């Protein structure tokens, strides 16, 4: 049998199984808000499938992955946790290959990764564009109201001295040093030039210490997530982004379709329905400032929201 014939036969067999399952059920599969069909199977953790939940290598993503993981376990889903793996450049390929099944993502950042020239802004437009760019094996589920945007942030002293209110003001502020994740330069350098006519004297990989590096003067400006409680704690100033270089960044589950069923989908969508920006910021204070264990913080949030 040729590879094309084999793929066709496999697809027909899968379609027949799905139709049979639908015939045995009194209700069909639900659709996600992007028009992608959720799995119709009614199987849960009892099916024996193990869902691998991954995370990027920064505290908020680990926290979100722990929320996903514990919520799924509470519904009887078998879960394997693979947290702190690395950046999107590493994670995306693992999800596409099926090595990971579920990942907490940020819709605008993911879209920019897939389409650096995208002009989509707003949650609905970004999610619709994502659906067009994702391969057939992947989809996103319901977006949450929780939004954690990238930003360029400066100290109050720098903002006052250089009269900075927006990213556009940086172009006239002289040669500055910028800090952020190691991949920040490769992701954003050209966009800063194209959108704001902005170049930096030096790029420093500051990672999780970016807020502190801004405060102590190691860098002049830094890429800080807007839910980082250190922005308030260290009295930093987040610069406005009038040209929307940083688009909507709603927390959203990115999944490999083969790894999820109706129970998994419904559970993750329920989590998204409860997450909001204020709540996520409060959770991050516990993780980043109080140094509470992310899994304990996740457990408390799930219990408080009736999901654990």
171 shares a domain with 45: no
Residue 179 structural domain:
152-238
Contact 257, 249 (CB under 8 A): no
183 shares a domain with 254: no
Residue 10 counted as domain residue? no
Q: Which of 211, 238, 265 is the last residue of a domain?
A: 238
93 shares a domain with 45: yes
Residue 59 counted as domain residue? yes
Contact 291, 78 (CB under 8 A): no
123 shares a domain with 60: yes
Contact 67, 297 (CB under 8 A): no
258 shares a domain with 137: yes
215 shares a domain with 84: no
128 shares a domain with 256: yes
Q: What does the pLDDT read at residue 8?
A: 38
Q: Find the Cα–Cα–Cα–Cα dihedral 209, 211, 216, 221, rounded to 10°.
A: 110
Q: Which of 213, 238, 263 is the last residue of a domain?
A: 238
Strands 251-256 and 221-223: unpaired
Beta-carbon contacts of 168 under 8 Å, excluding residues fewer than 6 positions away, are: 196, 242, 243
Residue 6 counted as domain residue? no
206 shares a domain with 261: no
Contact 201, 246 (CB under 8 A): no
Nearest partner of 51 among 31, 29, 25, 71, judged by Cα: 71
Beta-carbon contacts of 256 under 8 Å, excluding residues fewer than 6 positions away, are: 95, 96, 98, 100, 101, 102, 137, 138
Q: What does the pLDDT read at residue 268?
A: 98
137 shares a domain with 176: no
Residue 256 counted as domain residue? yes
| pLDDT profile of the chain (308 residues), mean per 10 | 40 37 34 35 54 96 98 98 95 96 96 90 92 97 94 97 96 95 91 94 93 97 93 94 89 97 97 95 93 97 96
Q: Which two tokens mark 81?
A: 């946790």
74 shares a domain with 117: yes
Residue 44 counted as domain residue? yes
Strands 202-205 and 177-180: parallel
89 shares a domain with 203: no
Domain count, the chain: 2
Q: Which of 238, 258, 290 is the last residue of a domain?
A: 238
**Tens digit of pLDDT for each residue in 139-194?**
999 999 999 989 999 999 999 999 999 999 999 999 999 999 998 999 899 999 99
Residue 214 counted as domain residue? yes
178 shares a domain with 141: no
> In angstroms, how far is CA 111 from the centroid of its own chain?
10
- HSE-up (13 A, CA, CB side) for residue 13: 6
Q: What does the pLDDT read at residue 47?
A: 54
- Residue 12, classed as helix, strand or coil, is helix
Residue 8 counted as domain residue? no
Q: What does the pLDDT read at residue 37?
A: 35
Sign of CA dihedral 280, 57, 249, 158: positive
Sign of CA dihedral 129, 130, 135, 140: negative
Q: What are the start-end ranges of the H helices in 115-152?
A: 123-133
Residue 1 counted as domain residue? no
- Residue 262, classed as helix, strand or coil, is helix
Q: Which CATH number goes with the domain that contains 111?
A: 3.40.190.10
Nearest partner of 61 among 34, 32, 33, 91, judged by Cα: 91
Q: Which CATH number goes with the domain that contains 165?
A: 3.40.190.120
Nearest partner of 74 among 52, 47, 45, judged by Cα: 45
């Amino acid at each position: 049998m040729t590879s094309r014939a084999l793929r066709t036969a496999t697809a027909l067999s899968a379609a027949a199984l799905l139709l049979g399952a639908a015939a045995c059920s009194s209700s069909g599969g639900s659709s996600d808000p992007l028009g992608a069909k959720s799995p119709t199977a009614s199987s849960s953790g009892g099916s024996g499938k193990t869902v691998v939940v991954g995370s990027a290598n920064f505290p908020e993503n680990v926290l979100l992955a722990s929320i996903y993981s514990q919520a799924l376990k509470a519904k009887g889903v078998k879960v394997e946790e693979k947290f702190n793996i690395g950046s999107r450049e590493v994670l995306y390929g693992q999800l596409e290959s099926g090595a990971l099944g579920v990942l907490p993502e940020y819709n605008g950042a993911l879209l920019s990764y897939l389409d650096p020239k995208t002009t989509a802004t707003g949650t609905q437009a970004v999610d619709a564009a994502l659906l067009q760019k994702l391969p057939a094996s992947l989809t996103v589920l319901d977006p949450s109201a929780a939004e954690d945007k990238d930003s360029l942030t400066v100290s109050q002293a720098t903002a006052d001295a250089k009269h900075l209110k927006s990213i556009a003001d940086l172009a006239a502020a002289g040669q500055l040093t910028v800090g952020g994740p190691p991949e920040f330069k490769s992701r954003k350098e050209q966009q800063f030039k194209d959108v704001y006519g902005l170049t930096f004297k030096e790029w420093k990989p500051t990672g999780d210490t970016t807020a502190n590096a801004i405060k102590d003067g190691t860098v002049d400006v830094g890429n800080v997530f807007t839910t980082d409680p250190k922005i308030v704690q260290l009295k930093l100033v987040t610069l406005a982004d009038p040209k929307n270089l940083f688009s909507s960044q709603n927390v959203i589950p990115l999944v490999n379709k083969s790894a999820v069923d109706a129970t998994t989908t419904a559970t993750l969508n329920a989590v998204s329905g409860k997450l909001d920006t204020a709540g996520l910021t409060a959770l991050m204070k516990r993780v980043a400032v109080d140094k509470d264990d992310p899994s304990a913080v996740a457990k408390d949030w799930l219990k408080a929201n009736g999901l654990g």
